[in-house]
Each structure stands twice: as structure tokens, then as C-alpha cells.
Amino acid sequence: MIRILLSLLMLLPFLCSCARTVDMGPGFSELSAHFVQAVRWQDFPGASKFITEDKRDAFLEQFPRNKDLHMVDARYERVALDEDAGAAETILYIEYYLLPSPTIKEWRWTQQWRRIDGKFPSGSLWLIQSSPPAFP
């Protein structure tokens, strides 16, 4: 009888873990943070994965590989998320400099994000729908 009770006590944590809700994958906050980090570290091909296919080429043309480009900061100035509508508007703020100039410059991009529900491994996917403005 004691063995049965001990066995049940040992199995209880495993059984309780099955009762938790299923994680549907990363949400908007995580994905947008990954996008900003990719831009900050100049991983533009990686950052382009967060943009709809029809806008990716425009993004990559704005940010070609350039050894003289140095990112100082990349962050969101504003985030307006409407989870129910599956939409978000953000303003990406970047500080950078281009050698040989040591002058730090600013650039902003107002982004329209949309949640795309479908048969993705993570449940749904958030992508940027808007093209970037001209990058100097």
C-alpha cells in the first residue's frame, strides 16, 4: 500500500503538467523583439523573415551589406497592439552612423504588423506589412 501511495505521489507532478494550456508559440512581443535584435546586429536577411514576401526585397535593398554601416541603437518608440484584430502599429527607431562620418543619425519606420492565422507550427505568425522608407 505504501508503494502505491509513493508511486502516485511521484506521478502527480507529471500528471499535473499535462493539465496546462498548450503553448501556441511566440506572440507579437517575442517576434517583434527578435526583429529588432536582428536589425540591431545587422542581420538583415534574418530580419527580412519578419516581413511579408512581397516587401522583403524592398527591405533588403534598403539594407545591403555595408561594412561602413554601424548600428548604435534599435528599439521601438511606440507599440500599439490590438490582439483581437490581429494588428499592431509600431515605430522602429534606429540610431546609426556611416563611416567615415562619426555623426550619429536617426531613422524611423512606422510599421504595420498583421497576425496571420494558419497551419504554422507556432499557431499563428506576425509579419510586417509595410515597406521601409528610404534609408540614407
Do 12 and 52 form a contact (C-beta atoms < 8 A)? no
Predicted pLDDT of residue 25 = 45
What pLDDT, in 10s, does the model give residues 5-61? 666 566 656 555 554 433 334 689 999 999 999 999 999 999 999 999 999 998 998
pLDDT, position 64: 80
What are the backbone angles phi and psi of residue 124, rounded to the nearest 5°? -140, 170
Domains of the chain are 26-128 (3.10.450.50)
What DSSP state is assigned to residue 79?
E
**Residues sharing a CB contact under 8 Å with residue 115, sequence separation 6 or more, in sequence order:** 28, 86, 87, 124, 125, 126
Q: Can you point out the beta strands (E) in the chain? A: 69-82, 87-98, 105-120, 123-128
63 pLDDT band (50/70/90 cuts)? confident
